[in-house]
Structures are given as C-alpha cells and as structure tokens.
Structure 1
Amino acid sequence: MKLFVYGSLKKGGKYDCYLEEATLIAEHAVANGVLYDSGLGYPAMVLSGAEKVIGDIYEIPDELWPALDDLEGYTGGAETDLFNKLTITVEADGEQVEAIVYVAKNQKLLKTKVASGVWDVSQSLLV
C-alpha cells in the first residue's frame, strides 16, 4: 500500500528512518488539505478541497505499518488517537494515486496554519 507523507517522515525529516525499507514512489505529490504546525516538531493535516499539501508517496511493505501507526499515535479507534488513517487521492507526476494519509484527529494539533502547504523538515529536527 502507498503512504502520502507530508511532515517528519519526508526525506530528510526527523523520522524518515522509519521508511528505510519503503520505496519512494513520488516526490512533490499534492493532496487536497490544510497543513498546520502542531508546535510539537511535526505537522498535522486536515482534508480540504480548497488548499494543497505537498509531500512524498512511498510504497510501504506490510511489516512497516505497525511501527508507522505507533509513531502517528493511531490505534484504529481509540479516543486518544492523535491521527486518523484514511485513503485519499493524491496527484503525483500528473497522475491520480490512491494513498493512505494520517490526518489530524485531535484538534489540539492544529496550532498554526502553514500557508505554503509545505513542511520544512528542518523544523522537525529542532525539537
């Protein structure tokens, strides 16, 4: 399955090591959404048709999903989950690609809007 990453999992990000066994499919992919700085060293995204979030798409081997879910604070339904895990359509290299994305479930993650829709991975390294 494919994963759209837009924050600390992007190449050069604080947690890109989680994707060492994954295959980079596309850089500079575009999803419909709004990006926020959580104030915690990583961003959070919400879905929206009006704005764009830029990220990368990876092909994820099945054995990596449990670690990614744990990193993203996703258990599959607990009230305390930080993120939801959804399948969306992302544009990459002029094509539509189905990919999983972790979107904010906890509204406290939506501190400051990132107007550019691009997370600067160096921000993740500072926290």
Structure 2
Amino acid sequence: MSEKMVFVYGTLRKHQSNASFIKSTALVASQTWTLGRLYDVGVGYPAMVKDPEQKVYGELYKVDHNTLREMDLLEGYHGQGLDNLYERGQQTIYMDIGEVEACVYTFREEQTTGLREIKSGDWKVDQLLSKTPLYYFAYGSCMDQERMVDHHVAKYFTDIVGGGSLQSYQLAFTISVGDGGRADIIEGDGMAEGKVYRIGVEALAYLIEREGVEEGKYRPTFVDVEVNGDILRDVLTFVVADKQPETAPPEHYAKEIIRGGKACLSTYYLQKLEKEWKEKFAIDIRRWL
C-alpha cells in the first residue's frame, strides 16, 4: 500500500484535539516548517495559506492511503476542483536535517478575510504559551543558577523539577553571537539532557527577551521530556530559528552549561559532552566537574 508524507500544523499535531487520527502513523520529524501564513479560524483550529516569505511550523508524518482519506474527510477535502474547505497540495517541508515534498492542507486567500493572523506561525505556541505555569526545558546556560543570579532573575527560576532527557535530539551550537556559538538542539539521532523548571509569566517574559524571539534568533517550541521516569508533555523550550554550521562556544559559555548542568545531567551525558567538545572545539570540561 502506497504511503505519503503529510505536514500537519494544527489540531492533528501531537497532544492536540485531533491527534488520534494519526496516532498509529509514523512520525518523521517534529521540528519542521514550510512557507506560508497561519490564521486562527476562530472555532478551534488554524488554516494556512501559501506565502513565499513567511513560515508555518508543524510536524511531518508518513501515512497510508486509508489514513490520508480520513484526513481528507476531516479537512473537508473532496478532490481537486471540487467545493473543498481545505485544498490539498504539495509543498517543500524543511527539517533540521534535509527537506522533503509532502501533502499540505491550505485555505484559499479569500477565506482568510477577517481572521486573526498567528504571527509566530506556530499553532501550538499560540495556544500554549499563555497557559502559565509552564514546564521549561533548559539545555544551555539557563541551567546555570550562578548566571541567573548575576542577571538578577534567579527568583523566577526557583521551582526546579529535575533533570530531563529529550529523545531524538542532540546538542549543537548553530548560532553565533559575538564571541562564539550558542546552544541549540537539533532533531535527529541521539539524546539531549537538561534541567526542567516550572515557570510563571515573569520567567517566560525574560526568556522570550533573552532568546531574541522577536528578532528571530530563537523560537519557542514544545517537546516531550522524560523526568524521573515520567514523560512531561508539551514542555517549553527554545531552538535556533535559522540554523547555521556549528561554531565553537566561548569558554565562559561552555563553563556555564557544565556548571549549571552537572547536578542534574547524567554521568553518561557529561562524559559524552567531554569527548565531543574536546574533539570538536578543544574544550576540556573536566576542570568544571
């Protein structure tokens, strides 16, 4: 039976209201995007229109013919040239590593009149970001309480849940800021570890400013993180919006990551970082452990 790639950006995404339609299908990638503009239809779901200059974020699945037909029914797609609610076409979908062609359900431009545009391009971010308190997964220097004290924001990050692991991601340094690279997580093989906090509105406002969300440096996203054997769903984290080839982090920044993480990161993960950073960046972290 033939299979097709499908990009979903609304209620079919993980933990959203219609996720059960594709629960038995193969998730290809969670951190994906395509060119388009996103709108809130106003009755519990979004709609995308094509746009060559903006991005819509979502997830990529591989589905069989029967599942695709069920999705067509859900989206009100009856066939090309018919009276459809959504049209189904093909677009390029970009992943952290590589790109593919996939089916995408879109509105026609005239259907968006009067609808609210979702500026972030991310339905889950639009729906979840205002629901504080939130769980927050820090994997870089935001694990470091000493840095938090220096920046006078430690009082916002006192509710520490524990160390967390994020499957199918790896730590990288894909954005350069002045003196060197800064941390990111890239979807693919491997596992990234970090510290999980429970945060309120003040911490969220600080993180959005610190991560340069408005300037397009990092973007918020939601991931599932394992903490003490339990899976926390839809945990906030931040990833680099426009990933570049890795740049070595400056020593002071690498030190903050290790200093902040050594109490919650596993021995295995710290040993992995020690080996990788020594080989790639000539950074020896043993002095900070």
Query: Does TM, normalized by the shorter one, top 0.5?
Result: yes
1:43 Cα deviation (Å)? Answer: 0.2
For 1:47, give the aligned amino acid: K
For 1:46, give the aligned amino acid: V
For 2:64, give the aligned amino acid: P
For 1:46 and 1:106, the matched residues in 2 are separated by 6
Name which of 102, 117, 124 aligns with 1:120: 124
For 2:32 and 2:111, the matched residues in 1 are separated by 26
**In structure 2, what is the equivalent of residue 68 of structure 1?**
71
**In structure 2, what is the equivalent of residue 51 of structure 1?**
54
CA deviations over 1:54-103 (Å, ceiling 9, x no partner): 00000001111111100000001322x11110011010123111110000
Instruction: Report which of the two has the higher share of helix.
Output: 2
**In structure 1, what is the equivalent of residue 35 of structure 2?**
32
Change in 2 beyond 3 A, CA 1:37/1:19:
same
Unaligned runs of 5+ in 1: none
Name which of 11, 15, 18 aligns with 1:12: 15
Q: What's the RMSD between the two structures over aligned residues?
A: 1.7
Q: Which structure has more RCO (C-alpha within 8 Å, separation ≥ 6)?
A: 1
For 2:63, give the aligned amino acid: I
1:40 Cα deviation (Å)? Answer: 1.3
Name which of 82, 85, 90 aligns with 1:87: 90
CA deviations over 1:28-61 (Å, ceiling 9, x no partner): 1010000000001000001111100000000001
What is the count of residue pairs matched by the alignment?
A: 122
Unaligned runs of 5+ in 2: 128-289
Larger Rg over CA atoms? 2
Percent identical among aligned pairs is: 35
Q: Any idea what SS the aligned residue of 1:49 has?
A: coil
Instruction: Report which of the two has the higher share of strand.
Output: 1
Q: Any idea what SS the aligned residue of 2:42 has?
A: coil
Instruction: State whether residues 7 and 121 of structure 1, in contact with CA within 8 Å, keep that contact through their aligned partners in structure 2.
Output: no
1:113 Cα deviation (Å)? Answer: 0.2
